[in-house]
């Protein structure tokens, strides 16, 4: 496998979007790196793939901006380039929720790391003895490709449906420790903030999402693969492409 795939995001206030868009485009020009960089006033979200040295050089350049200092990237490998082109786009949100009251840059929801979540699931409760439930914040077709065993799945078709789904099911989560999860952390972070702002106190996001859980824990308590939005389609717990795991109804 010769192509390095990275995914990274950060909620941080950005005010100079056109200038930043231009600078990132110039930094990537001629590198043969492909994928998507999304910029919004709330932060940055990127999925890129290319030769390892070029990808690492770009991330070093990006982290030289104090707003992205220490930006963590999830890495995986593939035999072929999973993206067809490079896009650097300005959007209203780096992950669309249509809920402007959510301002992740002002503070993250508490996170639980993969090792702690595995321990909670092993024992059936958190460290205070409260029942733990996992909440899938992804779209239904993604969950059909793989999810945590016993996870709550509200069968949403797009993330903008999450606020209404939560409102409809909020009482079912009372008295439980809720761990929201998604592919790489961005959706479950926004979801956890929304739920806390709505008064649900025992809510955590899975830090780094499913991909980090795979890296640190493996397959424990998880069935199937993880859908990714590139030509790999689905990766298994070893972060190896497994397109045969795509559900027949997956988009």
Q: 163-191 pLDDT, tens per residue?
A: 999 999 999 999 999 999 999 999 999 99
Task: Answer yes or no: 145 catalytic.
Answer: no
Q: Which of 145, 125, 126, 143 is nearest to 135 (CA)?
A: 143
Q: 206-237 pLDDT, tens per residue?
A: 999 999 999 999 999 999 999 987 777 898 88
d(CA 203, CA 201) in angstroms, rounded, equals 6
Q: 55-78 pLDDT, tens per residue?
A: 999 999 999 999 999 999 988 888
φ, ψ dihedrals at 142, nearest 5°:
-70, -45
Q: Which of 187, 221, 224 is nearest to 206 (CA)?
A: 187
Residue 250 has pLDDT above 70, yes or no: no
Residue 21 has pLDDT above 60, yes or no: yes
- Could you give the domains of the chain? 3-90 (3.30.70.100), 104-245 (3.40.250.10)
Query: What is the per-residue pLDDT for 244?
Result: 72
Alpha helix stretches (DSSP H) within 64-146:
114-123, 140-143
Q: Kindly name the residue from 145, 182, 188, 226 that is annotated as catalytic.
A: 182
* Structure-model confidence comparison of residues 239 and 177, the more confident one: 177
Task: Count CB atoms within 10 A of the CB of residue 129.
Answer: 9
């Amino acid at each position: 496998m010769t192509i390095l795939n990275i995914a990274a995001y950060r909620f941080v206030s950005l005010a100079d979007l056109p200038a930043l868009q231009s600078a990132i485009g110039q930094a990537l020009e001629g590198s043969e790196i492909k994928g998507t960089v999304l910029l919004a006033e709330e932060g940055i979200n990127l999925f890129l793939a290319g030769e390892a040295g070029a990808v690492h050089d770009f991330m070093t350049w990006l982290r030289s901006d104090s707003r992205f200092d220490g930006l963590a990237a999830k890495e995986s490998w593939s035999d072929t380039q999973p993206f067809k082109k490079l896009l650097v786009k300005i959007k209203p949100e780096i992950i669309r929720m249509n809920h402007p009251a959510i301002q992740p840059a002002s503070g993250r929801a508490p996170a639980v790391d993969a090792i702690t979540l595995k321990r909670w699931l092993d024992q059936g409760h958190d460290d205070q003895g409260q029942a733990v439930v996992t909440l899938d914040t992804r779209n239904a077709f993604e969950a059909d490709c793989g999810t945590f065993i016993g996870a709550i799945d509200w069968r949403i078709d797009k993330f903008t449906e999450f606020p209404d789904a939560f409102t409809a099911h909020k009482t079912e989560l009372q008295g439980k420790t809720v761990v929201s999860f998604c592919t790489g952390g961005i959706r479950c972070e926004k979801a956890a903030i929304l739920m806390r702002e709505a008064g649900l106190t025992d809510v955590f996001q899975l830090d780094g999402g499913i991909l980090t859980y795979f890296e640190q824990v493996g397959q424990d308590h998880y069935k199937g693969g993880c859908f990714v939005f590139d030509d790999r389609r689905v990766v298994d717990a070893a972060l190896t492409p497994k397109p045969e795991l795509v559900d027949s109804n997956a988009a």
